[in-house]
């Protein structure tokens, strides 16, 4: 490397440059560092012999570069035996995760927790190892401890200390979530204007209830005790906050307590909460109709009053949504009659209508906007799915499986009708099964339609 100077009419600028050969073999130079003007050099290297100091600085850079490119010879002795079970290889990939761990301030959070509790283990070491192994080698807590022994930094905790740490972390869960959110704002911007909430559950291979494990409605219809989890995520799908509840907790009752935590611990009071139909209770909508909160929730058209069902499914008076690039759309001024449209020409089109409705409970009233969309493509999908279920129901009737218990709202057995009678037409223990066409017609009425309710007053874009 060498010192070069670029001169103009009124100034001189100094650079550190090095020579190299291109892929074609030609000699060329490139700038390694801009040192600036002589005044900048004096400010950095001192007033006494600044150019001499710069040259010594460049010589040190050249030596360091040569050292980094120096070939190293490793001697191996085939006669030297390795000790059995002696670990010689270590994984360092977790160091990338470690950087994010400390950026989120989890080490400082652990210190705050340790000041509030007396413990004889390193909480930061246990938590960090559990997080790294959960991402790299998902498994049990015992296997996580064993897997962390592959790391450059060896674990110093025993398994019983890991379990004690888990109990402590569970007690401080709210504080940990709040700290992680606040520290994440230093890493990047969080999109929390609109947040999404949903619940799921986890089952256990046991038949006995204990603690949080309770019998409840399982997403997989399993006859096992479950634990429920509710989760808020931001617009990027990044987790915000979660709650753990007994498996027999009603989903609709979990939203408000977690929203209160977002307001009190996270400072998030101005949000739009989005949920699916399972969480769209009147109480939740009412709770999100206060202050700066708002809601967007799925609305089951089957649960609407009769006159609203008629309005939602009538064929005329629809407007079409035109998409004009990413996240941009407009509503047509023209109105369409769905019964007069060519299915092929409009198979990808989305139609739309809206109105304000009032719902009430116990003398109270909530005004909300009901938005209904229709898609021919969505209708075809629902019809295709139902026809397959009807075929399965017919097969059950023919093979004598119709009497088995229905396992869920989407089970094909919902289309099977049972009648019991004697030879004289009186009720008895003789059963006959047939396809319930009335249920089929009721479901097909809503094919292609999708409902949403919101208290946002802005017009559709």
pLDDT in tens, 89-135: 889 999 999 999 999 999 999 999 999 888 889 999 999 999 999 99
Q: How many domains does the chain have?
A: 4
Indicate whether 305 and 295 sit together in one domain.
Answer: no
Nearest to 296 by CA among 281, 269, 275: 275
Indicate whether 162 and 217 sit together in one domain.
Answer: no
Indicate whether 402 and 416 sit together in one domain.
Answer: yes
Indicate whether 176 and 250 sit together in one domain.
Answer: no
Confirm whether 412 is domain-assigned: yes
Q: Helix, strand, or coil here: 133?
A: helix
Residues 6+ apart with CB under 8 A from 87: 149
Which residues are bridge partners to 320 per DSSP? 351
pLDDT at 406: 65
- Which structural domain range is residue 206 located in? 193-299
Indicate whether 312 and 404 sit together in one domain.
Answer: yes
Which DSSP category does 113 fall into?
H
Q: How far apart are CA 253 and CA 264, in angstroms?
A: 18
Helix axes 106-116, 94-103, angle to 10 degrees: 60
Q: Helix, strand, or coil here: 443?
A: helix
Tokens 């295709």 belong to 384
Indicate whether 165 and 310 sit together in one domain.
Answer: no
Indicate whether 177 and 201 sit together in one domain.
Answer: no
Confirm whether 404 is domain-assigned: yes
Indicate whether 220 and 269 sit together in one domain.
Answer: yes
CA atoms within 13 A on the CB side of 241: 26
Indicate whether 141 and 59 sit together in one domain.
Answer: no
Q: Which residues of the chain have pLDDT under 70?
A: 325-328, 403-408, 421-430, 459-461
Confirm whether 321 is domain-assigned: yes
Q: How far apart are CA 26 and CA 163, in angstroms?
A: 64
Nearest to 292 by CA among 362, 360, 192, 365: 192
pLDDT at 460: 46
Tokens 């070069």 belong to 4
Of 256, 272, 299, the last residue of a domain is 299
- Which helix (H) or strand (E) covers residue 116, if one does? helix 106-116
Confirm whether 246 is domain-assigned: yes
Q: Helix, strand, or coil here: 367?
A: strand
Indicate whether 200 and 62 sit together in one domain.
Answer: no
Degrees to nearest 5, angle at CA 428 with 425 and 432: 75
- Which helix (H) or strand (E) covers residue 294, if one does? strand 294-299
Of 147, 182, 217, the last residue of a domain is 182
With the C-alpha atoms ordered 413, 376, 324, 334, is the resulting torsion angle positive or negative?
Answer: negative
Q: Helix, strand, or coil here: 247?
A: coil
Of 151, 182, 213, the last residue of a domain is 182
Q: How far apart are CA 392 and CA 404, in angstroms?
A: 13
pLDDT at 422: 64
- Specify whether the CB–CB gap between 48 and 56 falls below 8 A: no
Give the chain's length. Answer: 461
With the C-alpha atoms ordered 400, 406, 407, 409, is the resulting torsion angle positive or negative?
Answer: positive
Confirm whether 265 is domain-assigned: yes
Q: How far apart are CA 245 and CA 266, in angstroms?
A: 21
* Phi-psi category of residue 327: left, alpha or beta, with phi > 0 → left and psi -120 to 50 → alpha: left
Q: How far apart are CA 57 and CA 36, in angstroms?
A: 15
- Specify whether the CB–CB gap between 121 and 164 falls below 8 A: yes
Tokens read off for 278: 């399972």
pLDDT at 426: 61
> What is the distance between the terminal CA atoms of the chain, rounded to a whole angstrom?
60
- Specify whether the CB–CB gap between 439 and 415 falls below 8 A: yes
Neighbours of 129 (CB within 10 A): 24
pLDDT tens-digit map of 226-280: 999 999 999 999 999 999 999 999 999 999 999 999 999 898 888 899 999 888 8
pLDDT at 307: 94
Which residues are bridge partners to 454 per DSSP? 296, 369
Q: Is the pTM of this model over 0.75?
A: no
Tokens 């296997």 belong to 143
Tokens read off for 25: 């073999």
Indicate whether 312 and 443 sit together in one domain.
Answer: yes
- Which helix (H) or strand (E) covers residue 162, if one does? helix 159-171
Indicate whether 161 and 105 sit together in one domain.
Answer: yes
């Amino acid at each position: 490397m060498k010192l070069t100077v670029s001169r103009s009419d009124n100034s001189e600028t100094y650079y550190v440059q090095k020579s190299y050969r291109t892929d074609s073999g030609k000699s060329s130079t490139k700038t390694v560092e801009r040192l600036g003007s002589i005044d900048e050099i004096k400010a950095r290297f001192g007033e006494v012999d600044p150019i001499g100091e710069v040259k010594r600085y460049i010589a040190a850079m050249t030596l360091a570069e040569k050292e980094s490119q120096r070939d190293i010879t490793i001697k191996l002795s085939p006669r030297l035996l390795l000790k059995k079970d002696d670990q010689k290889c270590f994984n360092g990939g977790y160091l990338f995760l470690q950087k994010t761990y400390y950026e989120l301030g989890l080490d400082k959070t652990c210190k705050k927790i340790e000041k509030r509790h007396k413990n004889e283990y390193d909480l930061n070491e246990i938590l960090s190892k559990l997080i790294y192994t959960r991402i790299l080698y998902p498994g049990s807590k015992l296997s996580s401890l064993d897997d962390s022994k592959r790391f450059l930094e060896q674990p110093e905790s025993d398994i019983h200390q890991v379990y004690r740490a888990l109990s402590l972390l569970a007690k401080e869960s709210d504080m940990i979530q709040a700290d992680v959110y606040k520290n994440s704002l230093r890493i990047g911007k969080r999109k929390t204007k609109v947040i999404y909430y949903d619940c799921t559950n986890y089952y256990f291979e046991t038949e006995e209830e204990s603690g949080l494990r309770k019998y409840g409605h399982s997403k997989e219809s399993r006859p096992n005790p479950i634990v429920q989890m509710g989760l808020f995520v931001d617009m990027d799908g990044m987790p915000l906050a979660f709650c753990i509840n007994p498996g027999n907790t009603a989903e609709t009752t979990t939203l408000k307590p977690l929203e209160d935590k977002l307001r009190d611990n996270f400072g998030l009071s101005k949000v739009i909460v989005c949920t699916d139909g399972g969480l769209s209770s009147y109480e939740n909508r009412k709770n999100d109709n206060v202050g700066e909160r708002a809601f967007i929730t799925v609305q089951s058209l089957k649960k609407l009053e009769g006159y609203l069902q008629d309005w939602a499914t009538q064929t005329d008076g629809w407007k079409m949504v035109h998409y004009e690039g990413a996240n941009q759309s407009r509503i047509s001024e023209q109105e369409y009659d769905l019964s007069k449209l060519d299915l092929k020409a409009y198979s990808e089109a989305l139609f739309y209508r809206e109105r304000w409705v009032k719902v009430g409970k116990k003398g109270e009233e909530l005004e909300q906007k009901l938005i209904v969309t229709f898609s021919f493509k969505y209708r075809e999908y629902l019809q295709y799915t139902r026809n397959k279920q009807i075929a399965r129901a017919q097969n059950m009737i023919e093979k004598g499986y119709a009497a088995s218990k229905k396992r869920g709202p989407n089970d094909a057995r919902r289309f099977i009708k049972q009648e019991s009678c004697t030879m004289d037409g009186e009720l008895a223990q003789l059963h006959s099964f047939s396809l319930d066409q009335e249920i089929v017609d009721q479901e097909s009425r809503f094919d292609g339609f999708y409902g949403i309710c919101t208290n946002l007053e802005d017009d559709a874009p």
